[in-house]
Amino acid sequence: MTRPTSRDVARAAGVSQATVSLVLGDKWRGRVSERTAALVRETAGELGYRPNLAARNLRLGSTRTALLVVPALTNEFFARVYTGAATVAGRHGFGVVLYLSPDGTGPARDPFASAQAALDGVIASSMAADALEAISGTATPLPLVMLDSDPAGGADAYVNLAITDGVRQVTDHLLGLGHRRFLHLAADIDSWTFDIRAREIHHALGAHGPGAEHRTVRSALNVNAATAAMEQALAGLTDPATRPTAVIADDDILAVGACKAARRLGLRIPEDLSVTGFDDMALATAVEPELTTVRLPAERVGEHGMTALLAVLAGHQWSAPDLPVELVVRGSTAPPARPAGP
């Protein structure tokens, strides 16, 4: 069976071949009516027409390919970021190529020198901290969008979450329950997003006055490491009058480790120890009691990242408010069993 061409689409839709090219190349706005654009897309779908991307890219001098630099997709958050980016990319005839940090977290090794000729732009997580240096050091830097990253870093666009507000929601919730002694289970990763969490926890609890106190314990971003770190932190604190009554974890993975450690030490959740996380992964509802956590809209991060890159490629400025986050209260938090101080 002969593959349909753009000429076939034009003939069937009763429009010119140029109109078909404008619509299927997503350059029709302001030149073609919405009704005509819809007709062309519908006709192309009915005929099973697929554009010859290789030929079009040669004409445009573009590969219509974006590189997404994230930690390993075993982390559900980044799998959802990819889904969001790929969804938007597909609507615009782009593909998304993944570059995963070899160690799962931390700076990714430089993929740009060899891949640059085959890419139109880059979307990078703040956990791939070397991405910005790698691109800015090339002779012809690729357009760069950074995710959950320092907005003063010098990229072309940024997509950030309202992490500060998320921390405030967590601390307000726990303080409102009556907690005054906290342990911050921090991700042992050099990343802007985790630095912000640490800073805001310190600020939020410090602003409450001398009645609230907290200490920080750091852990690699996996359940076993978090369990070990929490066991070590809590093992010597047997007196309920001095032991923390609430744990604020940087991530749901760390929070699950905290829950495991508490049980091994004979502590009940939430009666003896309240635990909170960040992300709202599937893991948050797989544990018992289910985890109180800050829901981060991962797919929207990916969607906004790809939208921002498309804007930059089109020569436009792109900016948007931080994406809102939401505290989801579940069974892992409750008032402390005993008075926790003044």
Is 194 in the same domain as 290? yes
Together in a domain, 195 and 173: yes
196 and 274 fall within a common domain: yes
- Rounded distance between C-alpha atoms, residue 167 and residue 14, angstroms: 57
pLDDT value of position 322: 95
Report whether pLDDT(55) > 50.
no
Sequence-distant (6+) residues with CB within 8 A of 134 are 110, 111, 112, 113
Q: Do 231 and 285 reside in the same domain of the chain?
A: yes
Rounded Cα distance, 294 and 31, in Å: 44
Query: What confidence score (pLDDT) does residue 279 get?
Result: 94
Number of H helices, E strands in the chain: 12, 11
Do 96 and 215 fall within a single domain? no
Two structure tokens written together for 269: 């959740």
Mean pLDDT of the 269-282 span: 95
Domain total of the chain: 3
What CATH number is attached to the domain comprising 195?
3.40.50.2300
Residue 245's pLDDT band (cuts 50, 70, 90): very high
**Pair of tokens at residue 148:** 């959950």
Inside any domain, residue 144: yes
Same domain, 130 and 217: no
* Residue 111 lies inside a defined structural domain of this protein: yes
- Please, which pLDDT band fits residue 101 given cuts at 50, 70 and 90? low
Q: Which amino acid is at 148?
A: D
The answer to whether residue 172 sits within a structural domain is yes
Q: Coil, strand, or helix at residue 85?
A: helix
- Residue 177's pLDDT band, with cuts at 50, 70 and 90, is very high
With respect to residue 264, please indicate whether it lies within any of the assigned structural domains. Answer: yes
> Does the pLDDT at position 139 exceed 60?
no
Same-domain check for residues 279 and 313: no
Residue 109 falls inside a structural domain: yes
Provide the angle, in degrees to the nearest 10, between the axes of the packed helices 252-264 and 223-235.
Answer: 50
Q: What is the pLDDT of residue 72?
A: 67
Would residue 336 count as lying in a domain? Answer: no
The terminus-to-terminus CA distance of the chain in angstroms comes to: 80
Domain assignment present for residue 250? The answer is yes
Question: What is the pLDDT at residue 289?
Answer: 95
| 219 located within any domain | yes
Whether 93 and 167 map to the same domain: the answer is no
Same domain, 179 and 140: no
Place of tokens 């959950």: 148
Please tell me whether residues 45 and 83 are part of one structural domain: no
Same domain, 220 and 238: yes
Containing structural domain, residue 12 = 6-51
The answer to whether the CB of 280 falls within 8 A of the CB of 253 is no
CB contact set of 42 (below 8 Å; sequence gap of 6+): none
Q: How confident is the model at residue 48 (pLDDT cuts 50, 70, 90)?
A: confident
**Residue whose entry in the numeric block shows the structure tokens 């602003």:** 207
Per the structure block, which two tokens stand in for 83?
């889904």
Q: Which one, of 307, 335, 294, 318, lies nearest residue 164 by Cα?
A: 294
Q: Kindly state the average pLDDT of the residues 286-297.
A: 96
Residues 137 and 35 in one domain: no
For 115-138, the DSSP string reads: HGGG-SEEEEETTSTTHHHHHHTS
CATH (domain of 38): 1.10.260.40
